[in-house]
Amino acid sequence: MRIRYGYRLALECNVPTPSSFAIDVHPDRRGDVVVESPIVMRTQDGRNVLHARALDLFGNVRRRAVLPPGRTVIEHHGVIADSGAHEPVVMTARQVPVADLPEEAMGFLLPSRYCESDLLGPEAWSRFAGVPEGWPRVQAICDFVHTHIRFGYGFADNTRTASGGLRDGRGVCRDFAHLAITLCRAMNIPARYCTGYLGDIGVPHDPAPMDFSAWFEAYLDGRWYSFDARHNIPRIGRIVMARGRDAADVPIVSTFGPHGLAVFEVWTEELGAERAAA
């Protein structure tokens, strides 16, 4: 299967504004990219905005630029190869004892900006201590979060933490991910936040405008597995862009000064066989 993906963003600034972006396909999917455009940043009158590429502490690609006053348009698109298979469900995947975890996973047990696992520990243990460890426990956490939080774009709040999501019972995809991550960590299961593309492949089409998506990965049986408490079913064609402790580590756009978001378009869809051949 081949999947078409891309975005078009436009930011408006009043003064020169240092900015950072997580807008590349993650390095571990680079080998699957069939074709892609360069990432273009340009002013409204067509002048290119210089930007640099680097890897952050989590191995994500970051783009850095100083946006000039006025509107800057940022565009990128490509085609990526995908297996077309649903994400695996491995009910026998075991929870790794903390003493046996590799160092790379240990940091994803700790509380973070949006995932206060130290505060929600009693809540987690009261709800999930009786569920078998490993995959069944992570799935039970997803089931709870899926039913507890009501999704709506109007519920977005970039200051809401996991405890806020638990309290409010509403949010967007990042709130589902934050609460599930927090409950996993409280149960000694390493969990990390992911952001990227998720199209309506193999599921009914969502008529709402497309957005980047958030989900999480849990460390079980020596590897990371994808879980999605918002949709709560295995999906096809997830394309990760960045991973971190929570959304604070992987914002699509970070500006060190005020800006306005003038355009936000995201697309990801399966290409037909005849279109892919072209």
- Statement: residue 157 has pLDDT above 60: yes
Which stretches does DSSP call E strand in the chain?
2-13, 17-21, 33-36, 40-43, 51-55, 61-67, 70-81, 150-151, 170-171, 191-197, 213-220, 223-227, 239-244, 253-255, 260-270
Residue 154 backbone phi and psi in degrees, to 5: -70, -10
pLDDT digit string (tens) for 174-187?
999 999 999 999 99
Mean pLDDT value across residues 67-76: 97
d(CA 21, CA 212): 13
Q: Rounded to two decimals, what is the model's pTM?
A: 0.95
CATH architecture, domain 2-83+252-277: Sandwich (2.60)
Q: How far apart are CA 95 and CA 118, in angstroms?
A: 20
Domain-by-domain residue ranges, the chain?
2-83+252-277, 98-236
User: Does position 203 have pLDDT exceeding 70, yes or no?
Assistant: yes
pLDDT in tens, 107-141: 999 999 999 999 999 999 999 999 999 999 999 99
| Structure token digits, residue 231 | 């949709």
pLDDT value of residue 145? 98
Reading phi first (left if > 0) and then psi (alpha if -120 to 50, else beta), residue 211 is in beta
Please state, rounded to an integer, the average pLDDT across all residues of the chain: 95
Handedness of CA 144, 145, 148, 151 (dihedral sign): negative
In degrees rounded to 5, what are phi and psi of residue 112? -145, 180
The reported pLDDT for the residue numbered 278 is 40
Assess contact for 80 and 2: CB atoms under 8 A: yes
Q: Residue 72 above 50 pLDDT? A: yes
Confidence of residue 209 (pLDDT cuts 50, 70, 90): confident
Distance between CA 229 and CA 50 in Å, rounded?
Answer: 38
What architecture does CATH give domain 98-236?
A: Roll (3.10)
Distance of CA 115 to the CA centre of its chain: 14
